Chain A
Amino acid sequence: MSLITTLARLEAVSRDRAQPAATVRHRHLSDRPLVFVPLTTAGEAGAPLGALVGTDRDAPRLLVVPQPRDRDLRFAFLAELADVVLPYVDSYGEAVEAAERTETDPETGKRVKVEVELCADAPQLIVPSRAGVELVRLLGRSMRFRRTAEEDPQAPFPAPPRVPLLGRWLTHFGERARVPGSSLLLAMTDVLSRHWATGQSSLEDQHLGALLAWIDPPEGRGGAEAARERELARDADGQLLYPPAGPATDPAFDNKLLAPAIEAYDRARSALAAAEDGVEADARLGELTAAERRVRDLVESRTLPTWRAVWQGLDLLRELPEGAHVAERWTRDRWSYTGHRERVLAGEPPQPRRDDPVTAATKLATREREQARLEAQEALDDPLVMAARRLSGEAFAGEVTDVVMTWTESRRPSPRPLVTVRTDDRPHLAEGARVYRSSNGKPQTAELVAREEDGGVLVLRVLDRMGRGREPEPGSVPEKGERLCFTLFEHEPRGGAKLPDPEETPWTHGGPPGEEPAAEPADPVTEEDIL
């Protein structure tokens, strides 16, 4: 955490309200995000208890597993979830735009540009908290190797038809969420705490209700007090007034409300099974429906507040103007969506349990590159982020006090203007070091020629982006009196050396991949599975 964020947190404490940690929105928000508020059963790591899901804030779809230990009921839940998520994901596949991609030509081995289709927009999944992102991954993992009755008629407990496909998509969302700056799957607490600094620790910021209380406290209330209430207040029965954002539930809720309701459901079910004639069965079916209703009401009562909180968070985020580079990063998300869609349509097998070395290395390289890119872009988009970089000596802003034209001493002289900048910042710069500024949206490079003794006056030689002629193009050279911001980091970080094509992998790194790996087997099913 930089000192500027720390300061913002301290100010939040003294003003009793969250303070801005960003002046623009650094993540893409879809016009029609799919919000997913899941609940799980304690102890059954990941066994779903229910969820609210949908794109319409006024009409969420409630999905409930009245007995989380029952495989059929879990499958029914997952099938229903697939019915909501898959049509939503598919709906973005229709509209495409032409784009270019560099590919290796299989015959000549050369890198050529290929016309491809890129989906014009992509789906976006929003969960309340980081634990929700983990659950999306877990659900994806549990479903993608399942076999349906159609694929394998011999399989015991075949999964409903679209469940394995849902597993592949959720895996993709979960995997993409690990790429810095991506917006395909977002955790609301993460996005909110990126944009606001609260007067509590980042651990406490994981509570969505408390976080929102700091950012947007109820009329006439202080942030600290409202946050404490959201975190701890309980009613006369010992139930939290503001249920946790899940997916885990509060133990008091489990023990006092949920357990009796599930027990009643179990009793009603065995009573129905034991019914001896139609009339009796009818009556008992009514009891079963009532018991199921009770569990549904409980699940709804715990998820609805979180559902509203997520939408409130979306409202708050939409008030911020979008950062200039956000659309570019979203394009990468669109590529990732388009690519996965193509793999699914081409009938490729589900993502493996463990990545092979080449895939793992590529993923790691991508994440490192995207991290560097994100840091640079956020600083360029947002003066508040840039302020932190200036404080740490990685950038400086100042006024141009003098410009002297000089040229290179070659046969065709190119302009190399010397620009003197006065700054109050303290950049960590040595002579000859490169600095960058944004000139008409493109990075322009300069190098440090001299620095006056007190360090506040810097003479820079501009090196590029001034056109081909002897005279620099108009507007490409800083002018006297102009205020500029130079960074010590590159605006478009290139990342490390390019990895070789998979076929060229050296033997030291496992060598070229062998023949196509066989499709991975499904998980063996046992009597007591939880997911």
Chain B
Amino acid sequence: MPPPRTREKALRHRLAELRGPEVQAKALDARALAALAANPGCRRRAILDGAGVDKARLASALGAPSVFGQSQFAFVRGNAFEAKVKADGGTELLRLAHEKLDRSAEPPAGASVPDLTAQGPEGRAARTALALREATGASGTWTLLDHPMLALDVAGSPAFLEPDAVIVHPDGSWSVVEIKSFPMLDGSADPAKVGAAARQAAVYVLALEEVAARLGPPARVRHRILLVCPKDFSNLPTASAVDVRKQRAVTARQLTRLTRIQEIADALPEDVCFSPELPAEQLAAAVESVPATYAPECLSSCELAFHCRERSREAGAVTCLGRPVRAELGGLSTVGEVLAAARGEAGDPEDPAVAALRRAAALRAEALAAREVAGCR
């Protein structure tokens, strides 16, 4: 068995091969990392993300382009709102942080906003770590880190993440700030959007914890993040503390499971490559060599979903109709199998799933026949 260092290097080399020569790795962002938690069993997504493959380009090359895109209206508004929240040295943002997260501390006045500019993501991450160390040392003051850069080790290669802001409290603890442009109406916001923001923030919390662990006396990363949104129908910021312990635990577990990438990569044939330059048939074969677990939820989180949906439909997989469908059907996993079992053409009548299906089919036929009769009258 080779020493770990070499093994890690070998994996990195292998992933670069999978991505294709001359293809830049697509950095994993917090959104992608959080989405991994949505469908952790998907080996296809794990290896593609792990290797830094641009899934959107891959999907287009496969002839099933993704439909994700951002409207420029949303983009402009999002940026304008963030600028407004952080305006004036972050006075308003720190006021909200004091009010919602840390009321017992000194009210923020004249908080420091260190300059975090540096060359390249590695440089910025180092600069951020330095600023965090200094701010934690300077107790009794508030510090606002605007767009810090954090490095998170994902399956052996670093992913660089850029939270909207990180706040260092007077007691030396750290909080993640997430600025979103969906409104908080009468104190409540769309739960689906809050959930997505919480999952994203949880990734930042994990990354901050890695930085904190490297400090002399480790700093405390708060598990309640500050979610800043426009209030009602205005552009005025309002905020709420969101507990992300659960999302953090889920994401942390998924990230440790991602180490399986080695395993997945080992199971692939030698010549597999996902470079979008390759012809479509060759790419399709390459993608096909890694099993996927498609479910309709993928449509809203994975660029490759339409390709996987086509394949899943061609194979007649019942999961195409939703994950809960699988639960009722026991060991039957394709449309053909289920219908054959329901019609009594196949399947073991002793199997409770088969027996239930036959009863369901008989009852359904009876009810529909009753309608036919009623229709004739």
Q: Which residues of A contact B (CB under 8 A)?
A: 1-4, 6-11, 13-14, 20, 23, 41-46, 138, 141-142, 199-204, 224, 232, 249-252, 254-255, 259, 353-354, 382-384, 386-388, 390-391, 523-531
Contact = CB atoms under 8 A, between A and B. Distances in A.
Interface residues of B, number: 54
5 contacts: A7-B342, A199-B321, A200-B321, A387-B363, A524-B234
B183 A10 contact: no
B363 A1 contact: no
Interface residues of chain B: helix, strand, loop or mixed (majority) = helix
A510 to B, nearest CB: 19
Contacts of A142: 233
B360 A251 contact: no
Interface string B305-326: 0100000010010101110110
B71 A45 contact: no
Contacts of B300: 203
Nearest to B353: A3
Contacts of B185: 138, 141
B79 to A, nearest CB: 10
A113 B306 CA distance: 61
Q: Which 9 A-B pairs have the closest CB atoms?
A: A43-B74, A42-B71, A251-B69, A201-B296, A254-B71, A528-B235, A43-B77, A383-B367, A387-B363
B364 interface: yes
A249 B71 contact: yes
B71 A251 contact: yes
A390 B364 contact: no
Nearest to B332: A10
A531 to B, nearest CB: 4
A57 B218 CA distance: 67
B322 A202 contact: yes
Interface of B: 67, 69-78, 181-183, 185-186, 232-236, 296-297, 299-300, 306, 313, 316, 318, 320-322, 324-325, 328-329, 335-336, 338-339, 342, 356-357, 359-361, 363-364, 366-368, 370-371, 374
B356 A3 contact: yes
Nearest to B297: A203
A172 B11 CA distance: 60
A295 B198 CA distance: 37
B339 A387 contact: no
Contacts of B338: 7, 10
Contacts of B236: 526
Contacts of A199: 321
A3 B234 contact: no
A353 B186 contact: yes
Contacts of B232: 523
Nearest to B361: A7
A161 to B, nearest CB: 20
Contacts of A259: 72-73
Contacts of B366: 383, 387
Given A45-B183, A526-B234, A8 B73 contact: no
B322 A203 contact: yes
Contacts of B339: 10-11, 14
A259 B74 CA distance: 11
Given A20-B371, A201-B321, 20 more contacts: A1-B322, A4-B364, A13-B321, A13-B335, A23-B370, A42-B71, A43-B71, A43-B73, A43-B75, A203-B296, A203-B297, A384-B364, A384-B367, A391-B359, A523-B232, A523-B233, A525-B234, A526-B235, A529-B233, A529-B234
Quick one: which of A6, A141, A224, A530 has the most chain B CB within 10 A?
A: A6
B376 to A, nearest CB: 13
A281 B181 CA distance: 38
A255 B72 contact: yes
A390 B74 contact: no
B246 to A, nearest CB: 23
A23 B371 contact: yes
A524 to B, nearest CB: 7
Contacts of A254: 71-73
B77 A232 contact: no
Task: Name, among A142, A382, A530, the residue most crowded by chain B CB atoms within 10 Å (CB to CB).
Answer: A530
A252 B367 CA distance: 46
B369 to A, nearest CB: 9
Contacts of B306: 232
B367 A3 contact: no
Contacts of B233: 46, 142, 523, 529-531
B73 A383 contact: no
A201 B360 contact: no
Given A13-B335, A387-B366, A43 B78 contact: yes
Contact of A23 (B69, B313, B320, B367): B367
Nearest to B360: A3
Nearest to B235: A528
A387 B367 CA distance: 7
B235 to A, nearest CB: 4
Contacts of B183: 45-46, 530
A49 to B, nearest CB: 9
A7 B320 CA distance: 14
